[in-house]
Structure 1
Amino acid sequence: MSSIPADLHSASLSATPSLSRRRFLTNTAATGAIIASAGALSACASAVSGSSAEPLAETTLGRVRGVQAQGVYAFKGVPYAASTAGANRFRAPQPRAPWAGVRDATAGGASAPQLKGGSPVEFAWYWSDIAASEDCLSLSIFTPALRDNKRRPILVWLHGGAFSAGAGTSAGFDGSHLAKAQDVVVVSINHRLNVLGSLYTGEHADQLSPESANTGVLDQVAALQWVKANAEAFGGDAGNITVFGQSGGAAKVTALLGVPAARGLIQRAVVQSGSGAWRLAQPDAAARAGHALLREFGLTSANAGRLRDVPVEQLIAAFGKVTAATGGASEFRPTLDGVVFAQDPFDPKASPLAANIPLLIGNAAQEATFFLAADPRNFSLTQEQVHKRIQRFIRLNDADTKRLIGAYRDNNSTASPSELLIAIAGDYNYRLPTLAVADRQSAQNAAPVYAYEFDWKSPARNGVLGSPHTSEVPFIFGTLEAARPLIQDSPDQLQVRDRIGAIWAQFARTGNPVTAAVPGWTPYTATNRTTALLGQSWRAAADPAAKARAAFAAVPLYEYSFPVSFTRD
């Protein structure tokens, strides 16, 4: 999720050279060494008594000092791997050297290098203001207790940002309330993004590394390995780890479910508004983007290693230029490279690696308003403007555009032109792609799938935003104050927070999210597609996306691909 259009994926399978596969196995072993480099987990974790208590915890790399506030222990900016600068740029994450003494862990770690952009005030809470650095592989832990012999479920958050921007250190992702209210351990991570997290040339792999197309993914794997190894010290259950993410973070979750290196590290998964979350970048498209970046510096794949000498600011600026040239469509994202990924996680079907992992998956009711909010004129469009935008956005001819809009108007005869655009764009970008993952996972018939739609309505701007992209996140974390411009004085905010937090925690604890808040919420299958309406309706519905699915099925040659923006004429 970012000001850049949402990631919409396509993929094709490439062969895996035996040499590259051997290198990958070697680097996977090196990644595993990150959490073992300091030996076995120490049996020491304590909190100093007194009002100015400074909690201490022992990790596999050394002792860390956190903070205690309102019944929660927080350890921030804890490294899980070495700096990615210099020789480590474009390489799989390397082990962090253990430290002596006690390391301060009271402030969030550096953001990954990225482009900065503006945001409407209602969504500013999603972005971190912590400075960027290539020494960005760190995480933050929030826990109700330290080494108290309890095994709490662990929820690991993957932020959004279209694989290009964002950080786990946003004020909206503070895990304190969720940890305390639901008696769980919450972890948020930072990892490499954009060209630093994925750069693929398709040849001369030794110049960067065989894994360079998926270093961001391997960062996430390294973080999960660290979490598993250090769970006990923070009151967590190493055998019960849930990954949850929204938007680009949701796509990170689905990617992890299909990467062999993550096997055994994930017991449950939550996918929130995953745009194109079933497909990775295909090698030829990723290689075109990689070569375009190299040309910015007068390089080719044969001497691509010289990119390690380029100042990171120039590298990120070049990434922005290459991405802008394609209308904001970025192919610097997880890639079907035949090295880290042997197959696509959810295309044409769900990976067997994900078969036994329960899945909670869903979307917000008015996803598209997040992207339209930057210009208030987007909420008073004419019928002609909407027709032109949809025709360009989904690449339809005039007759099919009329047919699609007509089907949506039949479903909602009182909708304004802007409301029709919001519905069509949200379904195309998020709702239907997310449910495609639900369909493919449930088809494996091995672990339950639970679908939801978040239908709480924001009072901001007199209600025009509805339930926008990202809107469920502050309720899950309980970061209502951080998101006050979006939530405002919504009278039901505490109820929504408490119910949503309990649902996410219940799912992490048991693999079943059902609570008293939504009676009759049964698993999602191809025959019923039961979906819980959360936030306002609090009820289970049978396939609420049926009419949207039928409307798009009637459009000839409908194929989900990266569209141009629908936010402007």
Structure 2
Amino acid sequence: MGSAAEPNPSTPHAPRFAHPLVDTPNGTLRGDAAGQTERWLGIRYAKPPTGELRWRAPVPVSPWTGVADARISGPIAPQQRMKAMDVGERALTDEDCLFLNVWRPAAAGQPGATPRAVMVWVHGGAYVLGGTTQPVFDGAALADRGDVIVVTLGYRLGGLGFLELSTLDGAGGQFDSNLGMRDVLCALEWARSNIGAFGGDPSRVTLFGESAGAGIVSTLLATPSARGLFSAAIVESSPATSVYGLARAKIVAERFVAKLAIEGADGAALRALPVSSVVETAAELFAEIPTEFPGTLAFAPVVDGDLVPEHPVTVLSEGRGLRVALIIGTNRDEATFFKLAKSPLLPVGEEALTTMITEIAAENPSIEMPDREHILDAYEGVRQRMVGLGIARDVGFRMPTLWIAEGHSRLAPTYLYRFDFATPLLKVLRLGATHGTEVASVWGNLDTDPRGLAYKLGGRRQAGEVSDRMLALWTSFARDGQPTDEGLPGAAAWPAFGERRSTLVIDRVDRVVDDLDADLLAAWGDRAFSLS
């Protein structure tokens, strides 16, 4: 597939091709250009998941005739807006939300250009928030500086994407499971068939995501039907253990229909609901479930015995996942954000934490919960007020990450990191390197907040250097399978995870530490609470 372009003679200083055209197997798309990159926004990859397709697996988009305009972002999944999640001033929400965006270096569209590696992003947001319109996910910097093709995709969220109505008595095949997960797979299938038209190499696709997006990536690493759809993965702060069985999913589904006074699995009545009712009811459950079951999400991937046959942590810790190279890691202070927000999603109180750990173990019969005193040994010397934060961070993020790294490293090259960098303001606020603070560095978009609050007390130059290194590491991994930032200020050679359990600690100056988490592994167990 080649690409064409339309010159814009009315703008004398515009790029040569202001509205580049690309011919895909599905049809022709018109994008736009700025600087050294070209982009196509709002590309439909599946039919609208509305009407009879609500709560059904996505159906790939049909080919079209003529030229489809791809210069404006498509709607993102319906959700309740939150100040903490900036989805962009002009973002629209709609049940018809299965769209993706593509950025490429302008040189990638030239005749005879070498196909570029592809990076496909899955956004986070606790499976109920976020979208491709978030300003930080503008792919121009990543595509230009990393010389890669960048794809960001939207998927169904909350009650439309992770509500398992298939668990209801009498469902009888009216609903499909793991819809948000299936959306991501459908987008990956689109990339396999179409990305070559943009100058991308479909054999070099890196799937990457953060938080819930990372949870989807880590789950797909243990999903047989994802085999061949991506060749590498990057997992940033995955809530990998927040994947539940059908019994837990059924509780949420039963409460959902009860709140709406619908009798069981009445597909017609459920599909007739206005979107606002689905979103509002899901929001109620999103708040209620983790309050009643600390640390439990109302909406998350489910071990359905079909798409997801086994718990991903079990599969990955035993080295039985997809054989693809992996970068995986967490942030040093993951839990502080949840404490500041007073969120029950990651509790820090002793009683709630005990319940959370017990519930995680209950989801997988092969998990044996360590003795409480044995766990506390790992936090000896830590100030009392910080112990709860440390345990929450580790049970929610760090320990599952370590178990996955241990298992996957026996299968494919694996690189473990911990992000420690924090601006002076974040330190003053006692947030530190909290959940999500690495994202802007990865994308090279440090100034998306027009108020510039993050750098009120300084640190912008250091943040820029950290970002330069992370962008180089992530994109070199996507291009060549090995992360490198040689020659950049503060760089350190990053060895693969192995017997020495090497971790790249990302800070103002990066460093490699062997067996960084030895005390945690001794306390929690080398493999998922001593998985047998």
**TM-score where L is the length of structure 1:** 0.80
Matches within 5 A, 1:128-277: 130-145=91-106, 146-148=108-110, 149-200=113-164, 201-202=166-167, 203-206=169-172, 208-209=174-175, 212-275=176-239, 277=240
SS state at 1:346 partner: helix
Match of 2:269 among 275, 295, 306: 306
> For the residues of structure 1 that align with 2:379 and 2:92, how far apart are their CA atoms?
44
Task: Quote the residue 2:497 is aligned against.
Answer: 524
Task: Quote the residue 1:502 is aligned against.
Answer: 472
SS state at 1:64 partner: strand
Shift of 1:160: 0.6
Instruction: Name stretches of at least 5 consecutive residues in structure 2 with no aligned partner.
Output: 359-370
Matches within 5 A, 1:37-76: 42-46=1-5, 48=7, 51-52=13-14, 53-76=18-41
> For the residues of structure 1 that align with 2:188 and 2:514, how far apart are their CA atoms?
35
Residues 337 and 374 of structure 1, relative CA distance in 2, 3 Å threshold: closer
Task: Quote the residue 1:470 is aligned against.
Answer: 436
- Residues 1:486 and 2:454 aligned together: yes
Partner deviation per Cα, 1:47-84 (whole Å, 9 max, x = no partner): 53654411222223222222211211111111111111
Shift of 1:406: 6.5
Shift of 1:367: 0.9
- Residues 1:361 and 2:328 aligned together: yes
The residue identity in structure 2 corresponding to 1:266 is: F
The residue identity in structure 2 corresponding to 1:459 is: P
Shift of 1:450: 0.5
> For the residues of structure 1 that align with 2:352 and 2:178, how far apart are their CA atoms?
31
- Residues 1:88 and 2:53 aligned together: yes
Match of 2:313 among 333, 346, 352: 346
> For the residues of structure 1 that align with 2:116 and 2:127, how far apart are their CA atoms?
30
> For the residues of structure 2 that align with 1:244 and 1:542, how far apart are their CA atoms?
25
Match of 2:404 among 437, 448, 452: 437
Shift of 1:159: 0.6
Shift of 1:125: 4.5
Higher relative contact order (CA 8 A, sep 6+): 1
Task: Quote the residue 2:363 is aligned against.
Answer: none
Task: Quote the residue 1:113 is aligned against.
Answer: 78
Q: Which 10-residue stretch deviates more, 212-221 or 96-105?
A: 96-105
Contact in 1 for aligned 2:6/2:20 (Cα 8 Å):
yes
Partner deviation per Cα, 1:252-286 (whole Å, 9 max, x = no partner): 101222223322111000010111x1563201111
Contact in 1 for aligned 2:48/2:95 (Cα 8 Å):
yes
Matches within 5 A, 1:256-335: 256-275=220-239, 277-278=240-241, 280-327=243-290, 329-335=296-302
Shift of 1:289: 1.2
> For the residues of structure 2 that align with 1:356 and 1:462, how far apart are their CA atoms?
39
Residues 223 and 407 of structure 1, relative CA distance in 2, 3 Å threshold: closer
The residue identity in structure 1 corresponding to 2:475 is: A
SS state at 1:139 partner: strand
> For the residues of structure 1 that align with 2:321 and 2:300, how far apart are their CA atoms?
20
Residues 282 and 471 of structure 1, relative CA distance in 2, 3 Å threshold: same
Aligned residues: 492
Shift of 1:353: 6.7
Shift of 1:481: 0.7
Task: Quote the residue 2:361 is aligned against.
Answer: none
> For the residues of structure 1 that align with 2:281 and 2:80, how far apart are their CA atoms?
10
Residues 486 and 390 of structure 1, relative CA distance in 2, 3 Å threshold: farther
SS state at 2:152 partner: strand
The residue identity in structure 2 corresponding to 1:170 is: Q
The residue identity in structure 1 corresponding to 2:349 is: R
> For the residues of structure 2 that align with 1:193 and 1:392, how far apart are their CA atoms?
26
The residue identity in structure 2 corresponding to 1:238 is: P
SS state at 2:197 partner: helix
Contact in 1 for aligned 2:317/2:403 (Cα 8 Å):
no
Partner deviation per Cα, 1:101-120 (whole Å, 9 max, x = no partner): 2222222211101233332x
Shift of 1:141: 0.8
> For the residues of structure 1 that align with 2:411 and 2:473, how far apart are their CA atoms?
22
Instruction: Name stretches of at least 5 consecutive residues in structure 1 with no aligned partner.
Output: 1-41, 376-386, 561-569
Match of 2:379 among 408, 415, 429: 408
Matches within 5 A, 1:387-426: 389-395=349-355, 407-410=378-381, 412=382, 415=383, 417-426=384-393
Match of 1:550 among 499, 510, 522: 522
Task: Quote the residue 1:336 is aligned against.
Answer: 303
SS state at 2:312 partner: coil
Residues 243 and 208 of structure 1, relative CA distance in 2, 3 Å threshold: same
Contact in 2 for aligned 1:128/1:167 (Cα 8 Å):
no
> For the residues of structure 1 that align with 2:404 and 2:348, how far apart are their CA atoms?
30
Give the percent of matched residue pairs that are identical in Structure 1 and Structure 2: 31
SS state at 2:329 partner: strand
The residue identity in structure 2 corresponding to 1:522 is: P
Residues 138 and 371 of structure 1, relative CA distance in 2, 3 Å threshold: same
**TM-score where L is the length of structure 2:** 0.85
Contact in 2 for aligned 1:43/1:58 (Cα 8 Å):
yes
Q: Which 10-residue stretch deviates more, 503-512 or 109-118?
A: 109-118
Contact in 2 for aligned 1:77/1:108 (Cα 8 Å):
yes
SS state at 2:290 partner: coil
Shift of 1:126: 6.7
Task: Quote the residue 1:18 is aligned against.
Answer: none
> For the residues of structure 1 that align with 2:320 and 2:521, how far apart are their CA atoms?
28
Partner deviation per Cα, 1:464-508 (whole Å, 9 max, x = no partner): 221111111101101111154335541312211111100001111
Q: Which 10-residue stretch deviates more, 468-477 or 506-515?
A: 506-515
SS state at 2:109 partner: coil
The residue identity in structure 2 corresponding to 1:535 is: D
> For the residues of structure 2 that align with 1:244 and 1:351, how far apart are their CA atoms?
22
- Residues 1:446 and 2:411 aligned together: yes
> For the residues of structure 2 that align with 1:518 and 1:481, how far apart are their CA atoms?
23
Residues 45 and 369 of structure 1, relative CA distance in 2, 3 Å threshold: farther
Contact in 1 for aligned 2:348/2:388 (Cα 8 Å):
no
